[in-house]
Amino acid sequence: MLIAVGADAFQFCQSILVLSLSSLQTNVRMKQTSVYSAVKERKPKSAPFTIRLLGPIKQNGANHSIDKLDPYLNLFPASYCTQSHDLASPSDNYTALIASELDIQRLNRIHRWLWVAGTAVPARSLHDQLSRGREVVITEAMDMHLVWTTGKVYIKPLPRFLLEPTVWTEYLCCQDTCKCISRLDYNNGQPMECERRKLYKVALGFLYSYAALIRHESDFLLAKDRYLLPSCGISWFNWIAFVKQLDTEHIYPDINPRFHHKELRLSRLNYIYYFTQLSPAGFLRRWDRYSTFFHMNLGWLAATTVYIVVVLTAMQVGLATETLAKNSTFQSASYGFTVFSILGPLTRRNRAQIEVLYDPEDDPVNPTKANVDVVAVHGLGSDVDRTWTWRPDDPEQSVHWLKDSDMLRRKIPNARILAYNYDSTWLYDAPRVRAESCGKALIYGLDNFREREGTRDRPIIFLAHSFGGLVIQDGLVFADSMGRFEDILRYTAGFVSLGTPFRGTDIHWAADLAANVMRLYGSYRGCLSVLKYDNPQLRYKTQCFGRLRKKYHFPMFCFFESLETTFIRLPFLGNYFKAIVVDEASACLSELARLPLETDHIKLNKYSSPEDQSYLRVSAEIVRMCNNVVAVMNRLNNGDESSSTDHGEDTSQHDEGVGHQGSQDRHLERTSPFIIKNTR
């Protein structure tokens, strides 16, 4: 046993020593790079090589018509995916294609931690990779190039366009008027670089990695056998001349820092992303099926289950002992948890769908007739009570700003304040349904409530926090498609949004993780996939909502957070687990008024007192919209001229959302979609 423990301790110390030496080596390499940069910094105005491995660009045989159209066409992929997730031809925008082919932004974000994933030495040769039992897996993602995991290494094939000197000169080298390295970046004291120079350094670093992979003729033959080199008759002797022209010994100042490191270990990249980028998926998802996950994690899952069973059994034994049976604190905790577990879901489901938080007509001191309805919709992981309450767990200091007498009620005494109650707490059913379903339920519930109360002709102001804004958006779009709900749209007098992710969020994983953890309680994560940043479905919904808002001309105001939200409040870890949940670009629709609130996402809708600065800003906009109800009534009395706007108005020139017009019809030509003929 002692020998085993000693061996483990020795291995641990050895690992620490290796990492320390790796860090030292990285620092030395970086210092060398900085020295080279000071002495040899230059703007690339020509390709780093002159030899033509592909031969001259010429028109040949069957492709004569193609080469006449574009001599570079046979150097690039047949198509590529744009940022708006469309397939485009390379000839439409070679610059955008090259940028996508050389994209390593994910690695740039963590470049100072790459020494953990791979030491600062050249990559192993191809035959060495195979001798270590690593299968070569083709990838076209530059940030996955030379990333390895158990039994495989990802390698990006060498694209043709990087072997053509004229492509370097025209698209990668600095232009004559470029001043990128003559100015300093005041953030880090390094020379500023233009976009071309950044791409140049990635491309040259990529060629450097291939110089390391293909060192021997055996490596060259293996690369051709695994389709890593273009099938254009590159010879071994030309490759030798090509590598010599790269000047690999003095190349470090001119390549991206990622390529200072050898192969990067995927598991460590995942850990780096876990802790520095707050991404539970890591750098690359390791499991695509639950069966794979359980197979790889059966050990700790079984241990966790056994541990929980032991704890529950210990609690039962504790209740049976005389000491704990008479312990009032233990008994109170057991009693409260038991009652909460049994009655919590039942009381939750017995609440009204549209709940009245305040009605001035029922005010015991000064009954007043209401002339406007304020409808509040909360977000995910909360409920009607907690969402709008400051410190809900402290009865003495809690402040519910929607119904407390000295808060919003005082500012709008003639407003009835309602709340839409839908399943959203993680413990029970949230998120059980999609935003569209919640939106439909909101419209049906609001219409039935107003008809029952005889107030269908009363103006409405919507108030939403986070996901609740998407519920309102989908609800109003649904109401516009159904003639029976036109009254709700015509009487909408305003919409105040508090951090609604109209474009999604980069950390939608937080809600996704909570839903997965609480799946045993009935939570369903189906509605969360749409929250991914710049989701096409969200773009389409936002565009539909933009047309709807222009049709009915109701005002809208967007608030967004300016402080990062801390997810784990533990010493020394808080700074690593915090981020902006919904940034300004996502929380605010274009051409709409907006204001930042000096708070994080969780406190966007929680205010401590009437003097709270965030409350003063938000309540001022609600009051302004309540005062605008007279204009709404005048609009209706004048025949609602705004509703005569064409429902299919073209918003391509003034789009409220992001991306291109998703529902716009495209005119199809009555000819073949291609003109190139296959000749023999």
Strands 578-579 and 565-566: antiparallel
Residue 614 per-residue DSSP state: H
Per-residue pLDDT, averaged over 366-372, amounts to 90
Tens of pLDDT, residue by residue over 546-597, are 999 888 888 999 999 999 888 766 565 556 667 888 999 999 988 889 999 9
Dihedral pair phi/psi, residue 38, rounded to 5° = -70, -30
Confidence of residue 142 (pLDDT cuts 50, 70, 90): very high
Match 């009607």 to its residue by tokens. Answer: 384
Neighbours of 169 (CB within 10 A): 13
Indicate the angle between helix axes 217-225 and 236-246, nearest 10 degrees.
Answer: 110
Tens of pLDDT, residue by residue over 481-514, are 888 888 899 899 999 999 999 988 877 555 555 5
Q: Which residue has the higher pLDDT, 303 or 364?
A: 364
Closest CA to 269 of 84, 107, 420: 107
Confirm if 401 and 407 have CB atoms less than 8 A apart: yes
CA distance 406 to 413: 11
Task: Give the pLDDT score at 420.
Answer: 92
Average pLDDT, the chain: 76
Q: Residue 13 above 80 pLDDT?
A: no
Q: Which residue has the higher pLDDT, 657 or 647?
A: 657
Task: Give the pLDDT score at 649.
Answer: 39
Residues 6 or more apart from 67 whose CB is under 8 A from it?
A: 57, 58, 59, 60, 73, 74
Per-residue pLDDT, averaged over 204-225, amounts to 94
Q: Residue 223 above 90 pLDDT?
A: yes
Burial of 209 (0-12, 13-18, 19+ CB in 10 A): buried
Bond into 431 cis (ω within 30): yes
CA distance 657 to 537: 11
CA distance 1 to 65: 76
Q: Which residue has the higher pLDDT, 665 or 46?
A: 46
Strands 593-597 and 556-561: parallel
For the chain, first and last CA: distance in Å? 75
